[in-house]
Amino acid sequence: MTPAVIAQIEPIATPEIEWFAVSPLLVLVGGALVLLTAAALARSRPPRGFYALFTVVTAALAVACSALLWQRVTDPGRGPFTAIGGAITIDGFSVFFAVTITAAIALGALLADDYLRREGLDGPELYVLMLLSGTGGVVMAMANDLIVVFLGLETLSIALYVMAGLHLRRLESQESAIKYFVLGSFSSAFLLYGIALVYGATGSTNFGAIAGFLSGNVLASNGLLLAGFALLLVGLGFKVAAVPFHVWTPDVYQGAPTPVTAFMASASKAAGFAALLRVFVSTFDVYRLDWRPLMWGLAVLSLLVGSFLAVVQSDVKRMLAYSSISHAGFILVGAEAASDRGIAGALFYLLAYTFMVVGSFGVATLVGGRGDADHGLSAYRGLSRRRPLLALAFTVLLLAQAGVPLTSGFLAKFYVIGAAVEADSYALALIAMLSAVVAAFVYLRITVAMYMGDETEGAEAVTRPAVRVPPGAALALGVAVAFTIVVGILPSPVVDFARDAVPVLLSAP
């Protein structure tokens, strides 16, 4: 083309880019790119723990950016806003999830550090994938458009499929990867079909526009919209491991490398709930009479199936997998309430759960030993004598999951059940309490095994290789335990954080 022709071309009207709004995302992606490039160019192996340290520093920077964003969105003069052509929303909700998911990245990286060296897998790949996967999760939380939700979900998932299969030689790890991949891509295809139907019914994929359309128009026939809701629930229900879309959870959690399971159980569930809460509770608010029964069913099934099946497991990773299903049920109880209080309860639960679950799988990482295979309940017998502090930490985390007072887990259950009662979902509140009692049995079973391993098994314990507690994992466990206890005793900062993080619906400018 001649310069004259080029001069005639109109430049594209690109949207204004608020770099500050997406700074947590930029930090996470930038960290992944720098790590990848540096690892490829470095002549010699970096010092031990460099990759994990780098990931933790990146995560800390992302949290710092989120803190600045938090100041901006809670400032009454400025408040929440949409950015970059209305594709993303920056409100308390997105900042809350940016912090939650970033915390999961940092803790996961600390656990992975020694694990990878122990298993002979050391390298930057897991950390890069974790950062990219977390980026996808934060994108899901910030999304103001169904397209962005879907792409964030795929970024999160594709990195996770690979992370699940990262222990290349272990057959269970490969099995975990293929099962997660097949079922995951199947469920995201359902989600995509649901998005297409909602787009057809409302004429837009932007949340603000969808909500505006739904409140402004009475649809003559809403079958299309309801089918869309159902398919969206399939896709998101799979991500948060809600029954009946949970079949993959025990196998994938058991087979995946344990630090990856910790990350998967925390970040992926948080991101799934971010999308679920923003799409259903916030955007489809007008149609709450239609989706609340569906959510009710998911919550009841997840609570009951999760807690009852956890009881009959003999593998600790599978127990924790089923218990994570029942935790999803509790968070759904908060979502079902469809109120600000319900959302705040669900958010508090998610943040508390993130630390509890990463800590619990962190203990499993250490006890699993070389080969990541020793996850039977017998591996925990007599742990209190061999590693008293580790056993104590696990006990705190398990009691918190059971909902014992003075832990964050108790308050989390208290807030979601309170929200359900306030929304007149008495039956659901009752079922939630019942399932908490059943699930408590599982956690007690593990605790009892740690403290009451009798003498014959004590003799066996001598032959077991000693459980090593490397510094990185010790730090992660310490943070998880400290968070669980401190928030259990002084909950008000986190309660305020969750209360101010209720999603805001904003249309594109």
Distance CA 286, CA 218 (A): 10
**CB atoms < 10 A from the CB of 195, how many?**
21
Kindly identify the residues of this chain, within the stretch 330-359, that bind other proteins according to CB under 8 A: none
- Asked whether the beta carbons of 306 and 245 are under 8 A apart, the reply is no
Site map 136..165 versus other proteins, x via CB under 8 A = x--x-----x-xx-xxx-xx--xx-xx--x
Is 168 among the residues that bind other proteins (CB under 8 A)? Answer: yes
Query: Mask 195-214, x = binds other proteins (CB under 8 A)?
Result: -xx-xxx-x-x---------
Binds other proteins (CB under 8 A): choice among 189, 427, 430, 452: 189
CB of 136 to other proteins, least distance (A): 7
Q: Which is nearer to other proteins, 149 or 504 (CB)?
A: 149
All residues at 6 or more sequence positions from 145 whose CB lies less than 8 Å from its CB, including other chains: 86, 87, 88, 205, 206, 207
**Of residues 4, 5, 12, 218, which one binds other proteins by CB under 8 A?**
12
Span from 188-196, 240-248, 327-335, 486-494 in contact with other proteins (CB under 8 A): 188-196
448 binds other proteins (CB under 8 A): no
Decide if 274 contacts 97 (C-beta within 8 A).
Answer: yes
11 by Cβ neighbours in 10 Å (0-12 / 13-18 / 19+) ranks as exposed
Between 38 and 84, whose beta carbon lies closer to other proteins?
84
Minimum distance, C-beta of residue 155 to other proteins, in the bound complex (Å): 4
Smaller CB separation from other proteins, 215 or 314: 314
Helix (H, G, I), strand (E, B) or coil at 91: coil
Strand partners, 82: 89
Strands 88-90 and 81-83: antiparallel
Tokens of 297: 């069913």
Q: Which of 129, 481 has the CB closer to other proteins?
A: 129
Q: Binding mask 27-46 vs other proteins (x if CB under 8 A, - otherwise)?
A: --x--xx--x----------
Q: 275 or 400, CB closer to other proteins?
A: 275
Measured between alpha carbons, how far is residue 67 from residues 92, 113, 252, 313, 327 in Å?
A: 10, 27, 34, 41, 27
- Residue 208 C-alpha from the chain's centroid: 25
Distance CA 208, CA 278 (A): 11
Residue 85 makes contact with other proteins by CB under 8 A: yes
CB of 349 to other proteins, least distance (A): 26
The whole-angstrom separation of Cα 289 and Cα 398 is 36
Taking CB under 8 A as the rule, does residue 294 contact other proteins? no
Which of 179, 239, 246, 386 is the binder for other proteins (CB under 8 A)? 179
Using CB under 8 A as the binding rule, whether residue 177 contacts other proteins is answered as yes
Q: How far apart are CA 240 and CA 263, in angstroms?
A: 13
- Residues whose CB falls within 8 Å of the CB of residue 62, separated by 6 or more in sequence, listed in order: 24, 27, 28, 31, 98, 102
175 binds other proteins (CB under 8 A): yes
Q: Does 56 bind other proteins (CB under 8 A)?
A: no
Q: Give yes or no for residue 268 binding other proteins (CB under 8 A).
A: no
Which of 228, 409 has the CB closer to other proteins? 228
Q: Are 357 and 261 in contact (CB under 8 A)?
A: no
Tell which positions 212-231 bind other proteins, by CB under 8 A: 221, 223-224, 226-227
Helices (H), 119-247: 125-142, 146-164, 171-202, 207-216, 223-239
- Nearest approach in angstroms of CB 266 to other proteins is 18
* Full DSSP string of 96-136: HHHHHHHHHHHHHHHHHHHHHHHTT--SSHHHHHHHHHHHH
Q: Which is nearer to other proteins, 8 or 221 (CB)?
A: 221
**At residue 22, what are phi and psi to the nearest 5 degrees?**
-100, 15
CB nearer other proteins, residue 25 or residue 498? 25
Answer positive or negative: Cα dihedral of 327, 296, 290, 157: positive
Regarding 192 and contact with other proteins (CB under 8 A), the answer is yes
End-to-end CA distance of the chain: 36
Q: Does residue 174 touch other proteins according to CB under 8 A?
A: yes
Q: Does residue 25 sit in helix, strand or coil?
A: helix
The minimum distance between CB 456 and other proteins, in angstroms, equals 25
* Closest distance to other proteins from the beta carbon of 239 (Å): 15
Rule CB under 8 A: say whether 166 interacts with other proteins: yes
How many residues bind other proteins (CB under 8 A)? The answer is 71
* Minimum gap (Å) between residue 244 Cβ and other proteins: 13
Q: Residue 130 or 344: which CB sits closer to other proteins?
A: 130
Q: Please identify which residue in 64, 84, 444, 505 interacts with other proteins, judged by CB under 8 A.
A: 84
Query: Per the omega criterion (within 30 degrees of 0), is the bond before 3 cis?
Result: no
> CA-to-CA distance for 146 and 161, rounded, in angstroms?
22
Window 304 to 323, contacts with other proteins (CB under 8 A): 313-315, 318
* Smallest distance, other proteins to C-beta of residue 279, A: 16
Residue choice 15, 293, 371, 493 for contact with other proteins (CB under 8 A): 15
Tell the smallest beta-carbon distance from residue 297 to other proteins (Å). 17
Cα separation, 277 vs 346, whole angstroms = 9
Is residue 13 part of the contact set for other proteins (CB under 8 A)?
Answer: yes
Interface characters, 112-141, with other proteins (x: CB under 8 A): -------------x--xx--xx-xx--x--
